[in-house]
Structure 1
Amino acid sequence: MNSYFVDLHIHIGRNWLGKAVKITGSKSLTLSNILKESSRHKGIHMIGIIDCHSPEVLKEIHDLIQKGMAYEKKDGGIQFEDVTLLLGSEIEIYDEHCNGPIHVLAFLPTIEKMETFSNWLSYRMTNIHLSSQRFYGTGKELQFKVKELGGLFIPAHVFTPFKSLYGKGVEASLTEVFDPDLIDGIELGLSADTKMADAIAELHRYTYLSNSDAHSLAKIAREYQEMYMDHPSFKELEWALHQVNGRRVVKNFGLNPLLGKYHKTVCGQCLKQRSSSEDTCSCGTSKMIKGVSDRIEELKTATTSPERPEYFYQVPLEYIPTLGKKTLEKLLQRYGTEMDILHYRTEEELNEIASSKIVDAIMKMRKGKLSISAGGGGIYGKVNISS
C-alpha cells in the first residue's frame, strides 16, 4: 500500500472560454492552472474538481486528453502529470424537508458517467454551466441518481452556518433529508475537526474528510488527507472511504478550527464575538451568526468517540505572517512542493532560505503550538507569531 495526499474540493473560477463557473472563484482558477499547481507546486496526488458537471469544463477535459496531456484511468479518474483528477460536482439541495440550503459533493468514475449526470442535472437546474447551483428535487432523489451512476455522495462543509447539513439544513439529524446508507463520507469544513464532529453520534459510522474548498490557486491543499491506496483512482478512493482491503484515510490535515471563518458566534452587524446565549448585542442588533462550535454543542448526542485517524492542525504557508512571495518561491525552488516544506524538511534546511521567525512558525505548526486568534462571521482567524 502507498501513501497519497488528497484534496477533494476545488472549484473552477473560469472555464477555457473565460466565462465564470464559480462566480466567487479567482479568474486564474482554471482547469489547467489547477492541475499544474497541484502537480508541480502543491505536491497533492489526487484532487477533486467539483465543477465538472459544467459542459465547458467537460469539453476542456476532452481537449486535454485529445492533445495527449491527460488520459482516463481504467478504474476511474483522469491522470495529468503527477496528479489524478476526480470528476466531481457541488450541488445545492433545498427541498421541502430542509430548513435551509445544503451543499453536497457528488463524484463520478468516468467522463461518460459525468456527462450523463450533467445532462440529467440540466433539466433540474436553472444554469448547468455554473457551480453550486440549486437542484430542483429531493435530497434522496439526488442520492439515488448518484448511486445509479456508480458515484460517491458526500455532504459538504457540514457545520458552516450557511448552506450546510447541520448549519441550517436540518433540525437535528441527517435522516431528515438523506438516506444514511447512501452517504460515503462527511466533509468537516474549515471550522471543525474530528473531535468536534464526533460529538454527533450519527456521524460515527462515516469517514471524515478535510478538504480545501479552494476558491483560488493558493488555497488548494489548505486542508487535505493522507490516504493509503494502491494507486490514486476513483475505485481506490471508494475503497478508502469504506476501509476496504487496507485502503483508508490515515491522517487528516486541517486548519486549526480557530482559523475557520465561522468558528465563533459573532454579531451579524458589528461582527464582535458573542455568546450564543445572548439575545442582543451591545450594538443593538439581535442578529447573530452562530458559530460552528456553538452549533455542535447544541447537536451533541455522544459521550464517546470511535477510533479515528490522527487530525493534524496544519497552517498553509500563505497563512504565515511575514512569509512573502519571494521567500515562498525560493523555498519551492529549493525543496520542491508545499507538502515537502510543511511536513518533511528539517529546521536546518528551512533556515537556509527563510527567516528564523518563519521557520519557528512552521516548526510550531507541526507540533500544533501556534498561537491563533479565533475567526467568526465570515472572517478567518489569524496566526500570531512573536515579533
Structure 2
Amino acid sequence: MKIIADLHLHSKYSRAVSQKMEPETLGLWAQKKGIDLLGTSDWTHPLWLKELESLLKEKEDGVYQLKKDNSKTSFILSTEISSIYSQGGKTRRIHNVVMAPSFKTVNKINKELKSKGCNLMSDGRPIIGLSSIELGELVWSIDEDVLIIPAHIWTPWFSMFGSKSGFDSVEECFGKFSDKIYGIETGLSSDPAMNWQIKDLDKRSILSFSDAHSPAKLGREATVFQSQTKKSFSFNDLTMAIKKDKKSRWKISYTIEFHPEEGKYHYTGHRNCQVRQSPKETKKKGTICPVCGKPLTLGVMHRVEDLAESKEIKVMEKENQVGLVGYYNQKDPQRPPYVMLVPLLEVLSESLGVGPNSKKVQTEYERLISVLAPELEILTKTSLDKIKEIAGDRVAEAIEKMRKSKIVIEPGFDGVFGTVKIWKNEKVIKLNKNLNKQEQTTLF
C-alpha cells in the first residue's frame, strides 16, 4: 500500500493565498491530484482552527477526514510557523512545519504561544519572536510526539540553511533539540541529490511537499510512504517512517519533485537588473550586481555548494515500465529515490499552445482526470499508448519527454520562478543531476 502525502500548504487565512484554500476544496483537489494525505495547514489561526474542528473527524489516531465527505482524502494537523529573532549577532528568519497528533495538543500549543505574546490572528503562518530552540522547548514540553520539520531549508530569506538569515548546521539552529529533527523539507529550489551532499542530513529523512497557496499547486511536490503489510496509517506511523524506526511498517518509498531549476531561488541573481548567475559564474564574477552594484541574492545551488561536504554524490537513473526515470543515490542505496515531474496543467499548456489558466487547458485537464486517472497517476503510471489514445500524440509526446527530463529550463533566481519548456525549437537538453560533474550512470 502506498500513500501520497502533501503536508505543507496554506489556508485562505495566510497572506497571498487563494480564498479557495478551504477544507472541502482541498479534499476535492486532492482527489483530482491523486493525493491521499494532506496537511491541514495553519492550525495556529483561531478562525481556521475553528473550521477544522467543526469539519474534521478522527479516522485513525492523529489522522482526520471530512465529516460530510465520502472521499478517501485524509488530513494531518500541520502548520508553518515563522520565527524571526536574533542569535549569534545576526537576525534569523526560520520557517518550520509543525505537525501535531491531536486537536488537544494543537490547542495547548496555541494557548502557550499566545501567553508568550504571539499574535496568531495576524496571519495563517504567524510570525513569532521565539527562536527555533524556544519553539522546540515549547511544543515538546506539551507533547513529545509533535514533529518539527524545517521548511524549504535552502530558501535565502526564510530557512534553516538560507544564505541571508540561516545557519550552517542543524545543531546551530536547534541546539539541544537537534536530535529531534528527524527530517527536512527540500523546498522547490532543491532536490534530494543536492541535499545528499550535506553530511548533516545523512541520517535525516528528506521530505518534499508543495507549499501550495492555491488548489492547483497541490502535489507539485509530495512524499510517498509505503507499507508491505499495513493498510491503516496513523500519526505514529508517519513519525516512525520519518524517524526511519526499524520497527516501522511504513517507510518513505520516494519523493515527487519540482525541477529545482524551476524554483525561484535556484540560481544567484538580482531580479531588478535581470542578472542571473550559475555558481560557476558567481565564483568568477563575484556576488555584487554588475549593473547596480548591490549584493546579489545567493541562489540555493550556490549555498548548497558552500555547505557541501560529500562531493562524491553520484546519481543513478532507472526507468520504470512507462519510461518514468527515478533518480537513486548510488553511494547510499538505502536513501529513497525521487522522480521529477512537470504539473499536468503546464504540460497541457505547452502542448495546446495556450496559457495554463485558459479555458481550453482547464477543460482538457478536467476531461483527462475524469477519463484517464488522477493527475499524478497520469504523469507517473498511465501508459503512453493510453494517453495518446485519449489526449493525442502531442500530449503523449510531452509526457514522455517530461518523464525522461528531456526538457529545457531557464533557472529561477532572486524570487523569479524558472521557466519550463518541453519544446524549444525542438532542441532537447538532458538535465544533469550529477552535482560532481561526472558522467551519469544509468540503469537501462
Q: How does the TM-score come out when normalised to structure 2?
A: 0.80
Instruction: Please name the residue that 2:236 is paired with.
Output: 235
Instruction: Please name the residue that 2:146 is paired with.
Output: 151
**Of residues 161, 165, 171 in structure 2, which corresponds to 1:166?**
161
Distance 1:192 1:6 in 2: 18
Distance 1:188 1:160 in 2: 9
CA contact (8 A) 1:170 1:176 kept: no
- Distance apart, 1:350 and its partner CA: 1.2
**Of residues 185, 188, 191 in structure 1, which corresponds to 2:186?**
188
Q: 1:125 to 1:327 in 2, by over 3 A?
A: farther
CA contact (8 A) 1:330 1:353 kept: no
CA contact (8 A) 1:315 1:365 kept: yes
Distance 1:71 1:132 in 2: 23
Instruction: Please name the residue that 1:31 is paired with.
Output: 23
- Distance apart, 1:133 and its partner CA: 1.8
1:359 has 2:383 as partner: no
Instruction: Please name the residue that 2:366 is paired with.
Output: 329
The residue identity in structure 2 corresponding to 1:106 is: V
**C-alpha offsets along residues 268-302 of structure 1, whole Å, 9 cap, x if unaligned?**
42132123342433422323111100011111122
- Distance apart, 1:72 and its partner CA: 0.8
**Of residues 122, 126, 130 in structure 2, which corresponds to 1:133?**
126
**C-alpha offsets along residues 356-375 of structure 1, whole Å, 9 cap, x if unaligned?**
22221211222222222211
Higher mean Cα deviation, 75-84 or 319-328? 319-328
**Of residues 323, 340, 343 in structure 2, which corresponds to 1:316?**
343
Distance 1:281 1:234 in 2: 47
- Distance apart, 1:27 and its partner CA: 1.6
The residue identity in structure 1 corresponding to 2:298 is: K
Within 5 Å, which residues of 2 pair with 1:1-387? Answer: 2-13=1-12, 21-38=13-30, 40-64=31-55, 70-80=56-66, 81-97=71-87, 99-129=91-121, 130-148=123-141, 149=143, 150-167=145-162, 168-178=164-174, 179-229=177-227, 230=230, 231-244=232-245, 245-274=248-277, 275-277=281-283, 278-304=286-312, 306-307=332-333, 308-320=335-347, 321-322=350-351, 324-386=361-423
The residue identity in structure 1 corresponding to 2:297 is: I
CA contact (8 A) 1:99 1:171 kept: no
Instruction: Please name the residue that 2:442 is paired with.
Output: none
Q: 1:332 to 1:206 in 2, by over 3 A?
A: same
Query: SS of the residue aligned with 1:218?
Result: helix
CA contact (8 A) 2:160 2:167 kept: no
Distance 2:118 2:107 in 1: 17
The residue identity in structure 1 corresponding to 2:378 is: I
Query: SS of the residue aligned with 1:142?
Result: helix
The residue identity in structure 1 corresponding to 2:65 is: Q
Query: SS of the residue aligned with 1:177?
Result: helix
The residue identity in structure 2 corresponding to 1:117 is: I
CA contact (8 A) 1:42 1:338 kept: yes
**C-alpha offsets along residues 187-208 of structure 1, whole Å, 9 cap, x if unaligned?**
0000111111122111111000
Distance 2:417 2:345 in 1: 13
Distance 2:249 2:129 in 1: 38
- Distance apart, 1:209 and its partner CA: 0.5
Distance 1:339 1:269 in 2: 36
Name the structure, 1 or 2, with higher relative contact order (CA <8 Å, separation 6+): 1
Query: Which ranges in structure 1 are unaligned for 5 or more consecutive residues?
Result: 14-20, 65-69
Distance 1:213 1:59 in 2: 22
Superposition CA RMSD, Å? 1.8
Identity percentage over the alignment? Answer: 30
Distance 2:165 2:180 in 1: 18
CA contact (8 A) 1:241 1:248 kept: yes
CA contact (8 A) 1:156 1:188 kept: yes
The residue identity in structure 2 corresponding to 1:361 is: A
Query: SS of the residue aligned with 2:402?
Result: helix
- Distance apart, 1:180 and its partner CA: 1.3
Q: 1:171 to 1:368 in 2, by over 3 A?
A: same
- Distance apart, 1:119 and its partner CA: 1.5
Q: How does the TM-score come out when normalised to structure 1?
A: 0.91
The residue identity in structure 1 corresponding to 2:222 is: Y
Query: SS of the residue aligned with 1:353?
Result: helix
Instruction: Please name the residue that 2:434 is paired with.
Output: none
**C-alpha offsets along residues 58-102 of structure 1, whole Å, 9 cap, x if unaligned?**
2112222xxxxx421342121232111111121112233264300
Distance 2:106 2:301 in 1: 36
Query: SS of the residue aligned with 2:273?
Result: coil
**C-alpha offsets along residues 20-46 of structure 1, whole Å, 9 cap, x if unaligned?**
x111101211222112211x2111111
CA contact (8 A) 2:148 2:181 kept: yes
- Distance apart, 1:125 and its partner CA: 5.0
The residue identity in structure 2 corresponding to 1:142 is: L
The residue identity in structure 1 corresponding to 2:302 is: D
Distance 1:365 1:241 in 2: 29
CA contact (8 A) 2:44 2:125 kept: no
- Distance apart, 1:126 and its partner CA: 4.2
